[in-house]
């Protein structure tokens, strides 16, 4: 018999609030990178992490967003483990398979269209990489959690051993290798296909996150969890410093001293995201694990704005990408470009075509970013509340 009291959802535990808070934080920071991608006037000219050309402000704006993708994928893995404590193995396997396929479909269709507003661009991005990682993880659910974690850690540590593999550009084989381990693009008539988030390293992060999720299971000692997170995070940072300083292993491009101390530091921390190198993952996930250990004891209100965003990441992601592209079109029209030209301009591939004519300053990038997040928050809050009130509707878990 269900009583009125038992019908009320139990309040989320502090450990789960910390995960939602961190997820919401990186989703907000992620929007800054996408606003910069679509609207900053230096995008066609150079890599914002190129120490010989960038400014400190632009470098830090780009570098801080490095935390977003690895943190989100790791937390996705942790969340899957926590779901596994409430669902049967077969039920969870079906969910991961179907949701993984759903995410891949969305990325190859809707998200690819958002990038260009034309049907001529197909992008295998972070959403598709997460979807494929879910499918692969579904095949490992019969293994002990420690084994899954070990597989993920092995991939993270050793996938850079394949850095030397080079295939002929523009061929189907190179595209397949790009999907698995590297990045690659291919032109098929008027269609551009680009693989930006290779499956193997990102699956490694999700599998390791799955193992991390066991630290957050009900009944796990909070003090022990805090110590494990801090020790592992500190070990990751230390390993990064040693490997990077001596240019031993873990990143295809070595660092080198610059003309100034600032340029040397920029070169030292300029590690490869596409595909994510070992050093990239160490210097992003290491600090995140330490930060998560402090969040574990923090007093976080269930109604905190970042909690609301962190509970609806897929909704937020799709919404914010639509909004950013539309704002970029509006900026172009305000600057005098025809609406038809801006609607068909591919901001991922054609930025150089507007070189020196389109874009806003870094200050405007920050202003647009803040206004965007403020505008999206009420929608995320309402949708998060709707999902909380309708937990019986399992189709909502796909959105």
State residue 162's pLDDT score: 93
Residue 3 pLDDT > 50: no
Residue 2 pLDDT > 60: no
Residue 56 is assigned to a structural domain of this protein: yes
Residue 285 is assigned to a structural domain of this protein: yes
Residue 4 is assigned to a structural domain of this protein: no
Number of domains in the chain: 1
Residue 6 is assigned to a structural domain of this protein: no
Q: Among the listed ranges 175-179, 324-328, 363-367, 389-393, which one has the minimum average pLDDT value?
A: 389-393
Contact 51, 263 (CB under 8 A): yes
pTM: 0.93
Please report, to the nearest 10 degrees, the dihedral formed by the alpha carbons of residues 152, 307, 388, 90 taken in order. 0
Domain of 335 in residue numbering reads as 12-398
Residue 334 pLDDT > 90: yes
User: Which residues does residue 193 pair with via DSSP β-bridges, in sequence order?
Assistant: 122, 186
Return the HEC string of 200-216: HHHHHHHHHHHHHHHHH
Residue 271 is assigned to a structural domain of this protein: yes
Average pLDDT on 380-392 reads 90
- pLDDT digits over 49-59, tens only? 999 999 999 99
Assign 349 a pLDDT band (cuts: 50, 70, 90).
low
Cα(first)–Cα(last) distance of the chain, in Å?
Answer: 31
Residue 7 is assigned to a structural domain of this protein: no
State residue 13's pLDDT score: 59
Q: How far apart are CA 388 and CA 399, in angstroms?
A: 13
Residue 2 is assigned to a structural domain of this protein: no
Q: Among the listed ranges 20-24, 152-156, 170-174, 284-288, which one has the minimum average pLDDT value?
A: 170-174
More confident residue, 113 or 144: 144
Residue 256 is assigned to a structural domain of this protein: yes
% of the chain beyond a pLDDT of 70: 95
């Amino acid at each position: 018999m269900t009583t009125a009291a038992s019908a009320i959802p139990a309040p989320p535990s502090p450990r789960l609030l910390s995960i939602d808070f961190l997820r919401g934080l990186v989703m907000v920071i992620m929007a800054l990178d996408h606003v910069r991608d679509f609207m900053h006037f230096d995008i066609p000219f150079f890599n914002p992490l190129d120490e010989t050309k960038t400014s400190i402000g632009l470098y830090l704006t780009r570098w801080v967003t490095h935390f977003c993708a690895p943190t989100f994928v790791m937390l996705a893995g942790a969340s899957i483990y926590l779901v596994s404590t409430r669902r049967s193995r077969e039920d969870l396997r079906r969910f991961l398979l179907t949701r993984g396929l759903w995410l891949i479909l969305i990325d190859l269709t809707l998200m690819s269209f958002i990038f260009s507003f034309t049907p001529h661009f197909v992008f295998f991005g972070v959403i598709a990489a997460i979807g494929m990682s879910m499918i692969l993880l579904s095949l490992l659910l019969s293994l002990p959690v420690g084994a899954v974690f070990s597989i993920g850690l092995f991939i993270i540590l050793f996938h850079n051993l394949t850095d030397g593999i080079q295939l002929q550009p523009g061929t189907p084989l190179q595209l397949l290798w790009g999907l698995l381990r590297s990045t690659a693009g291919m032109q098929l008539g008027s269609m551009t296909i680009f693989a930006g988030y290779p499956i193997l390293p990102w699956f490694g992060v999700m599998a390791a996150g799955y193992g991390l999720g066991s630290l957050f299971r009900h009944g796990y000692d909070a003090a022990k969890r805090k110590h494990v997170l801090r020790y592992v995070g500190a070990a990751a940072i230390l390993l990064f410093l040693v490997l990077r300083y001596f240019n031993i292993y873990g990143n295809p491009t070595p660092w080198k001293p610059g003309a100034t101390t600032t340029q040397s530091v920029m070169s030292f921390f300029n590690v490869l995201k596409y595909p994510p190198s070992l050093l990239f993952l160490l210097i992003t996930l290491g600090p995140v694990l330490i930060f998560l250990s402090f969040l574990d004891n923090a007093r976080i209100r269930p109604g905190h704005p970042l909690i609301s965003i962190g509970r609806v990441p897929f909704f937020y992601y799709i919404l914010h990408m639509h909004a950013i592209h539309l704002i970029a079109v509006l900026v172009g029209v305000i600057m005098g470009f025809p609406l038809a030209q801006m609607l068909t301009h591919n901001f991922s591939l054609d930025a150089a075509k507007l070189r020196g004519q389109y874009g806003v300053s870094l200050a405007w990038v920050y202003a647009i970013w803040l206004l965007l997040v403020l505008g999206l928050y009420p929608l995320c809050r309402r949708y998060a509340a709707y999902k909380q009130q309708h937990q019986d509707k399992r189709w909502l878990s796909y959105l």
